[in-house]
Amino acid sequence: MKIRLGLDIGGTTVHGIAVTASEPHDLVSQATHPTRQGADGVVGGALDMVAALRSDLPPDAEIISIGLGVPGVVHGGAVTHAVNLGLDGEPLDLAAAVSAGAGGTPTTVENDVKAATLGGWQWLREQGTDIDDLALLNVGTGIAAGLLLDGRLRHGSRGMAGEIGHLVHDPTGPLCACGRRGCLELYASGSGVRRQWAGTAAELFEAADSGDADAARIRDELTSGIAQAISLLAYSVDVSCVLVTGGVVTATPALRDAILEQLRRDENTSLGRLAGIADRVRWLPAGHPAGALGAALLGAGDEGARPWKL
């Protein structure tokens, strides 16, 4: 049995899965470990996860590829900027280090949201939607997108394609950690909600509905920020689907309804009707391991075993 491993290395946990190498990529085993920081910690943590997944596999299993998704900028195969992993200095050739520690198994590293885009694409394919253009919008701690365009994952000239979280949403807004004021992710993300509101996003919507003016303002900025990000992706690259993922969206049906309502209001114009953006939106189900699955699929792309290219 040929197996691909996919590791989604987040700021707090590493989620690893083992799937069969060919479609339908059945899940064979999975595990979750706490993340270790720094270059040695990230490499060691990845190798521990590989060992844990391997120990759960049947005796005839052969691991043919390892894929790693990391929350940072990946350029030319090296991780150059991943603050949440304690990597913000020398570029780290994570793929080479993990491959060397895993007996030479071919290993690919990718930005986590770009990896999740492949996982989301695979989910759409399983739902009967077979497309070669997709934007995945991840509304997590921050907000960022991954782009699959004409069957090719878009990296960009500096590995930053889809990094839209630090576009300025309100120039008079609060100072962001990046040095600018009023960045989109200060409003339209999980951390943006936590910064301004003590409860969950669902509780925010309830409070807004019952007349709390602060809650209504935070709700409206959250909704319009995400709707704006969806419109930005749809208008700039005209993808047939914007797949939205991330805890704050999947856990809050009222937020999804509000986003769609806002996008439908845009359809009151002839350009808006032509664009039909609301109809392009899909929601990835809560708990879908798109990041780890997409990481596992990275190896298949390298081998030309998939319709898309890296």
DSSP H helices, 31-141, are: 38-55, 94-101, 112-126
DSSP H helices, the chain, are: 38-55, 94-101, 112-126, 190-196, 201-209, 213-237, 247-250, 253-265, 270-275, 290-302
124 contacts Zn ion (rule: CB under 5 A): no
169 contacts Zn ion (rule: CB under 5 A): no
Q: In whole angstroms, give the CA distance from residue 161 to residue 147.
A: 8
CB 187 → Zn ion: shortest distance, Å?
11
CB 229 → Zn ion: shortest distance, Å?
14
**Among the residue ranges 20-28, 53-61, 178-186, 261-269, the one whose residues contact Zn ion (CB under 5 A):** 178-186
Nearer to Zn ion, 122 or 189 (CB): 189
183 contacts Zn ion (rule: CB under 5 A): yes
CB 227 → Zn ion: shortest distance, Å?
19
Q: In whole angstroms, give the CA distance from residue 253 to residue 261.
A: 12
Residues 216-247, buried b or exposed e (16+ Cβ, 10 A)? bebbebbbbbbbbbbbbbbeebebebbbbbbb
4 contacts Zn ion (rule: CB under 5 A): no
Among 47, 78, 167, 176, binds Zn ion (CB under 5 A): 176
178 contacts Zn ion (rule: CB under 5 A): yes
114 contacts Zn ion (rule: CB under 5 A): no
Nearer to Zn ion, 73 or 208 (CB): 73
Q: In whole angstroms, give the CA distance from residue 267 to residue 278.
A: 9
Nearer to Zn ion, 180 or 282 (CB): 180
**Among the residue ranges 133-141, 174-182, 206-214, 255-263, the one whose residues contact Zn ion (CB under 5 A):** 174-182
Residues between 264 and 303 that touch Zn ion (CB under 5 A): none
| In contact, 299 and 62? CB cutoff 8 Å | no
251 contacts Zn ion (rule: CB under 5 A): no
Nearer to Zn ion, 181 or 282 (CB): 181
**Among the residue ranges 79-87, 123-131, 173-181, 240-248, the one whose residues contact Zn ion (CB under 5 A):** 173-181
| In contact, 57 and 12? CB cutoff 8 Å | no
Nearer to Zn ion, 31 or 176 (CB): 176
DSSP letter string over 117-147? HHHHHHHHHHTT---S-EEEEEESSSEEEEE
Nearer to Zn ion, 183 or 297 (CB): 183
The owner of tokens 């793929």 is 95
Q: In whole angstroms, give the CA distance from residue 69 to residue 15.
A: 10
Phi/psi of residue 205, nearest 5 degrees: -65, -40
CA angle 189, 193, 199 (to 5 degrees): 140
Nearer to Zn ion, 19 or 82 (CB): 82
219 contacts Zn ion (rule: CB under 5 A): no
Nearer to Zn ion, 228 or 250 (CB): 228
166 contacts Zn ion (rule: CB under 5 A): yes
CB 167 → Zn ion: shortest distance, Å?
9
Give the number of residues in contact with Zn ion, rule: CB under 5 A. 5
Nearer to Zn ion, 21 or 183 (CB): 183
The sheet carrying 242-245 orders its strands as: 152-153, 143-149, 134-139, 242-245, 281-283
Q: In whole angstroms, give the CA distance from residue 70 to residue 12.
A: 12
**Among the residue ranges 97-105, 166-174, 227-235, 250-258, the one whose residues contact Zn ion (CB under 5 A):** 166-174
Rounded to the nearest 5 percent, the helix, strand and coil shares of the chain are 40, 25, 35
Residues at the interface with Zn ion (CB under 5 A): 166, 176, 178, 180, 183
